[in-house]
Amino acid sequence: MAALKGLITKGSLQKLVFSNVRKEFKTRIFARCSHFTYVPDTPKANHGETTRMNLFQSINSAMDNALEQDPTAVLFGEDVAFGGVFRCSIGLKDKYGKDRVFNTPLSEQGIVAFGIGLAVVGATAIAEIQFADYIFPAYDQIVNEAAKFRYRTGNLFDCGKLTIRAPCGAVGHGAMYHSQSVEAQFAHTAGLKVVIPRGPIQAKGLLLSCIWDENPCIFLEPKILYRSAIEEVPIHKYTIPLSQAEVILEGKDVTLVGYGTQVHVLREVANMAQERLNVSCEVIDLRTILPYDFETIANSVVKTGRLVISHEAPVTMGFATEIATAVQEECFLNLEAPIQRVCGYDIPFPHVFEPFCLPDKYRVFEAVKKVINF
């Protein structure tokens, strides 16, 4: 490392360089502050022994369990062998061998199609796409192949043992190609399951469900949580059922629905609403986007009469649109106010404007005020 450090951080240069700048300018230090407060979950008592893990460690732990239990299971993608750019596969090549945990050439369509092939012959395939933003070269393989394999072959063949993992969402500085939330793009495709966890405990249980589910699954990991979200996570395997939303905070006045990082924003909004408006919010984590759990949402809306849905992805044709439509179809007479969508704007995700374009707690709070005051 010394040589490299010497090359890059020559001390003298650094001093010369920055002492001047510091004097002359009020520095605008680039802020990595996040736009939410993370509230850890507590593990279920019956899941046994736990240890402190962040999100990438809990995903690592899930894949460790999957590789251990199933000798057909393999894990692959770009830079996976050395641990992956987000460290999710760290140590697994050494533990399970390079024929089970390996690098692929740099081709997303290749990675997904390779995974489909493995799954067709009965192997458990865990494919990593380095960023959800880069899943699109594989769009054809996912939408036309993986999603339709079982259907078009009359159930002679299927690729249900394929799970595609990809980091998604805003991270403070990712701009348009390291920030996208792509769930809606895949939620429009019958045959896929799409899952997004809100933290380490959820991630492990949901990922193991995806890996063992008999349908191709897309598991989107909010990358801002990889290091920042830390919980006591059970070390042994356990699953959390797919297609079941979870009420993470009970309330009676307004229902707030989200998933992934946005759940934490909603939790904060619920606190703000309680403190500042004396309004009680029920917060629902959707967890599985497709096929989604409509009943949990509907039951809540029947109770509260007000619904705010929020996600980072652009509002037009975002998943909030689907939920809002279904709720007005089924619960029209229960509604006390128009359903609100607080989502990303209909623009590519911009670099320096991130603080202005996120559906942050103040924007969601405004929506809560709106449905209350309607």
Partner 1 sequence: MNRLLSRKAFKAFFKLHEACCLTSTQYFLKPPRVLVNKAQYISEDRPEFPGSKSEFVHKLKFLWPEKMEGIPVYRVMNRKGEIVDPSEDPGLSKETVIKMYKDMTMLNTMDRILYESQRQGRISFYMTNFGEEGTHIGSAAALNPKDLIFGQYREAGVLMWRGFTLDQFMNQCYGSSEDLGKGRQMPVHYGSKDLHFVTISSPLATQMPQASGAAYGFKRAQNGLCVVCYFGEGAASEGDAHAALNFAATLECPVIFFCRNNGYAISTPTRDQYRGDGIASRGFGYGMVTARVDGNDIFAVYKVTKAAREICIQENRPVLIEAMTYRIGHHSTSDDSSAYRSVDEVSHWNKEDTPIARLRLYMINKGWWNDDAEKEWKRDSKKKVMEAFANAEGRKKPNPEMMFTDVYKEIPKHIQKQMDQMKQHVHAYKDHYPLDSYQKMG
Which residues are near ligand TPP by CB under 6 A?
78, 106, 108, 130, 134, 137
The answer to whether 329 is a known catalytic residue is no
Task: Supply φ then ψ for residue 214, to 5 degrees.
Answer: -90, 15
Closest distance to partner 1 from the beta carbon of 290 (Å)? 24
Instruction: State yes or no: residue 106 binds partner 1 (CB under 8 A).
Output: yes
Name the one range near partner 1 by CB under 8 A: 14-22, 153-161, 182-190, 209-217. 14-22
Closest distance to ligand TPP from the beta carbon of 115 (Å)? 16
Q: Give the footprint of partner 1 on residues 311-340 (CB under 8 A).
A: 315-316
Quote the CA–CA distance of 220 and 137 in Å, as a whole number: 17
Quote the CA–CA distance of 250 and 247 in Å, as a whole number: 7
Applying CB under 8 A, which of residues 103, 243, 271, 328 lies at the interface with partner 1? 103
Closest distance to ligand TPP from the beta carbon of 356 (Å)? 25
Residue 3, Cα to own-chain centre: how many angstroms? Answer: 38
Closest distance to partner 1 from the beta carbon of 113 (Å)? 10
Applying CB under 8 A, which of residues 150, 161, 165, 178 lies at the interface with partner 1? 178
The answer to whether 351 is a known catalytic residue is no
Contact 307, 339 (CB under 8 A): yes
Of the candidates 108, 183, 268, 322, the residue annotated as catalytic is 108
Among residues 296, 292, 316, 318, which one has the least CA distance to residue 307? 296
Applying CB under 8 A, which of residues 214, 276, 347, 374 lies at the interface with partner 1? 347
Closest distance to partner 1 from the beta carbon of 85 (Å)? 6
Name the one range near partner 1 by CB under 8 A: 189-197, 224-232, 324-332, 356-364. 356-364
Among residues 137 and 291, whose Cβ is nearest to ligand TPP? 137
Among residues 15 and 173, whose Cβ is nearest to ligand TPP? 173
Name the one range near partner 1 by CB under 8 A: 55-63, 191-199, 249-257, 343-351. 343-351
Catalytic site positions: 108, 178
